[in-house]
């Protein structure tokens, strides 16, 4: 990506006003994917000066500032959620790259290939936007494009068990498919991502388990419910087959 001008606002209000007063301007998160984007933007708005790099634990939630790097998240929160946050990012390049990629950039971009989105969706994550306020990650994944600034990622701490599974051609490649199964305070949540579309919840799989079904039956329900498609990495039909395996494995690993 080329951008002709650069600013680094010192307040959220200034950043938001700049975003809206400059059509075509882009928010700069980790910036690691800029080279893969061929757009030209008139203005890059750096979020680095806004102090969004805090990690806070309240009585109910883990709150990650949007500018927290994946490596900071790994090293600070690795013991939470059965290590699922670490597992979800360990395949992403190397530590230098994870020192730069931000949680906010990953979430806001809604990448289909993201392992972290799948884990966060299973954990019933909420997103705090500067102007729009709080919404669930599920709502955000189904919204039209939102011209707003993601400031915080809130992950409820009431998850007793979670497991993450993925299938990839090489250990540092993007997943062909990923899945996460979590037993949270608000019930079972089974998410499947890299379909190649971004993560989605399988209500049918959760219902199946709640009615006494086995992990294999729940996996069949998720494969029937969710949509899969072709891309250069895998075909939709193959992804459906992977779903049968990964959802079952995730449920078994989580002891659900």
Partner 1 sequence: MTVTFWVNGRRQAWEVLPDEVLADSLRSHGFTSVKKGCGQGACGLCTVWVEDKPVPSCSVLTVRMAGKHITTLEGVQEEAAAYGSLLVAEGAEQCGFCAPGLIMLVLAMKKELKDPSEQQVREYLNGNLCRCSGYYGQIRAAMNYLQSERLG
Residue closer to partner 1, measured from CB, 33 or 245? 33
Residue closer to partner 1, measured from CB, 46 or 82? 46
ω into 7 cis (within 30 of 0): no
DSSP string covering 159-209: --EEEEEEEESSTTSPEEEEEEEEEETTEEEEEEE-SSSPPEE-HHHHHHH
User: How far apart are the C-alpha atoms of 197 and 233, rounded to whole Å?
Assistant: 12
Least separation in angstroms between CB 90 and partner 1: 7
User: How far apart are the C-alpha atoms of 119 and 201, rounded to whole Å?
Assistant: 11
Under 8 Å between Cβ of 64 and 49: no
Residue 229: how many other CB atoms lie within 10 Å? 12
Q: Which residues bind partner 1 (CB under 8 A)?
A: 1-6, 8, 28, 30-36, 44, 46, 48, 71, 90, 93-97, 99-100, 171-172
Least separation in angstroms between CB 254 and partner 1: 23
Two tokens, residue 116: 């972290």
Least separation in angstroms between CB 29 and partner 1: 11
Residue closer to partner 1, measured from CB, 38 or 58? 38
End-to-end CA distance of the chain: 44
Residue closer to partner 1, measured from CB, 43 or 199? 43
Least separation in angstroms between CB 95 and partner 1: 6
Two tokens, residue 123: 């954990």
Least separation in angstroms between CB 232 and partner 1: 17
Two tokens, residue 94: 């190397």
Residue closer to partner 1, measured from CB, 34 or 204? 34
Least separation in angstroms between CB 93 and partner 1: 5
Dihedral sign of CA atoms 41, 42, 45, 46 in order = positive
Residue closer to partner 1, measured from CB, 160 or 172? 172
């Amino acid at each position: 990506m080329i951008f002709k001008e650069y600013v680094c606002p010192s307040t959220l209000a200034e950043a938001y006003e700049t975003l809206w007063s400059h059509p075509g301007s882009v928010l700069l998160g980790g910036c690691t994917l800029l080279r893969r984007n061929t757009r030209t933007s008139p203005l890059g708005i750096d979020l680095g000066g806004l102090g969004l790099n805090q990690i806070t634990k309240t009585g109910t939630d883990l709150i990650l500032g949007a500018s927290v790097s994946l490596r900071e998240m790994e090293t600070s929160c690795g013991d939470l959620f059965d290590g699922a946050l670490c597992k979800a990012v360990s395949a992403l390049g190397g530590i230098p790259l994870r020192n730069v990629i931000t949680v906010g950039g990953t979430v806001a971009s809604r990448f289909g290939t993201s392992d972290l989105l799948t884990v966060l969706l299973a954990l019933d994550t909420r997103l705090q936007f500067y102007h729009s306020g709080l919404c669930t990650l599920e709502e955000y994944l189904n919204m039209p494009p939102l011209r707003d600034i993601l400031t915080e990622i809130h992950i409820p701490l009431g998850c007793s068990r979670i497991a993450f599974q993925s299938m990839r051609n090489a250990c540092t490649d993007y997943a062909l498919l990923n899945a996460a199964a979590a037993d949270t305070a608000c019930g079972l949540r089974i998410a499947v991502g890299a379909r190649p579309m971004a993560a989605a919840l399988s209500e049918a799989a959760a219902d199946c388990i709640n009615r006494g079904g086995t992990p294999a039956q729940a996996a069949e329900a998720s494969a029937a419910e969710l949509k899969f498609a072709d891309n250069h990495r895998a075909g939709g039909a193959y992804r459906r087959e992977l779903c049968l395996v990964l959802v079952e494995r995730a449920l078994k690993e989580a002891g659900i």
